[in-house]
Amino acid sequence: MKILGIETTCDETGIALIEFKETKFRILSHKLRSQIKVHSKYGGIVPILAAREHKKNLPILFDSLIREIKIDFKKDIDYFAFSYGPGLPPALVEGKEFVVSLAKKYEKKIIPVNHLIAHFYSVLISKNKIGVWQKIKEIPLPALGLLVSGGHTILAFIEDFRKIKKLGETLDDAIGESLDKGARILGLDYPGGPKLEKLAKKGRPLFNLPHPLINQKNFNFSFAGLKTAFWELVEEIRKYNKLDELKQDLAYSYQKTAFETVIIKTKKAFEKYRPKSIIVTGGVIANQFLRKMFVKVFGTKVYFPVKNLSTDNGINIAFSGYFLLDKAVEYSNLDIDPLADI
């Protein structure tokens, strides 16, 4: 069975083709175009520009994929999978229009995939390598799931991948968003998360910042207060003309505080629910410092996506589609849901 997956929820245009044989699969092609350059000068994602870029890039990526994989789409493809939300409404509309045009042309059904759930499914992929057969990874369940991305910070209980219950989420900024804002306070471009990580490499934990909500019993998060405290601290340091000298230490302290907050909450949920494993996924887990913190606390119980699959891409969508075949719809019944939840 072959599934083509399409991702356009935010600022990455992704298309991937995966072939499945029972519990094995291989990635046949993977095309991804990031819009970072388009948005960075605005300090964040501009939805209407994201939509324009998806509209431009989808046919380019698709053409490049069909040139690379010489297959008869009508005969050889079984389904199209498409991420219907959550995401930016104009970006989702472009993805939907594109997948509907393909489904019409090749007479296929479409599997609507929830973007958040796709982040969780992505940990079942062991290798991000084109053409190599691999087994679907088995992870001991039930698991605790933590999604740390630019748009979400969610703790969930995963009884199985089709039965995910939310335990808590951020009440204001998502962790990725808070890293991007913290980075911006230090004068770094969007997306600031990776740049903050680089800057923090030579930093020291010199500054104490607040860990919001860690003493509350629930599993919600809050990062807005941390960002405000950081802004005040940076302004104070700027007054003394010490910003350049202390930038690395500020980056280190900010990142560390945000990460400690998620570790503390995850540990509390772990103690309460006693899962067999912990899945940490989403763009922010590309951060090596955070990965190390999780491994230090949870050892072999923790699972991450492999390189380049923690951020948004088409592979995650095509792969998730395989587990959701019963949800496939005719193109005329497809809809987007910008506020989709898990």
Tokens 């700027």 belong to: 238
**Which stretch, 15-23, 104-112, 146-154, 220-228, contacts Zn ion (CB under 5 A)?**
146-154
User: Is the CB of 116 or the CB of 213 nearer to ligand KG4?
Assistant: 116
| Least distance from ligand KG4 to the Cβ atom of residue 280, Å | 12
Write out the residues near ligand KG4 by the rule CB under 6 A. 10, 149-151, 176-177, 179-180, 191-194, 197, 282-284, 286-287, 311-312
Residues with Cβ within 8 Å of residue 324, at least 6 apart in sequence: 81, 111, 112, 113
16 binds, options ligand KG4, Zn ion, none, Cβ within 5 to 8 A by partner type: none
CA–CA gap between residue 247 and residue 203 (Å, rounded): 8
User: Is the CB of 85 or the CB of 168 nearer to Zn ion?
Assistant: 85
Q: How many CA atoms are closer than 13 Å to the CA of 317, on its beta-carbon side?
A: 34
Is 332 strand, coil or helix?
helix
CA distances from 251 to 20, 40, 81, 192 (A): 43, 19, 39, 11
Residues with Cβ within 8 Å of residue 238, at least 6 apart in sequence: none
**Which stretch, 26-34, 88-96, 123-131, 309-317, contacts Zn ion (CB under 5 A)?**
309-317
Tokens of 231: 């802004």
In the list 53, 173, 177, 312, the residue contacting Zn ion (rule: CB under 5 A) is: 312
User: Is the CB of 103 or the CB of 311 nearer to ligand KG4?
Assistant: 311
| Least distance from Zn ion to the Cβ atom of residue 130, Å | 22
User: Is the CB of 182 or the CB of 305 nearer to Zn ion?
Assistant: 305
Judged on CB neighbours under 10 Å (0-12, 13-18, 19+), 31 is buried
Q: Mark 91-130 with x for binding to Zn ion (rule: CB under 5 A) and - for no binding.
A: ----------------------------------------
Residues that bind Zn ion (CB under 5 A): 149, 312
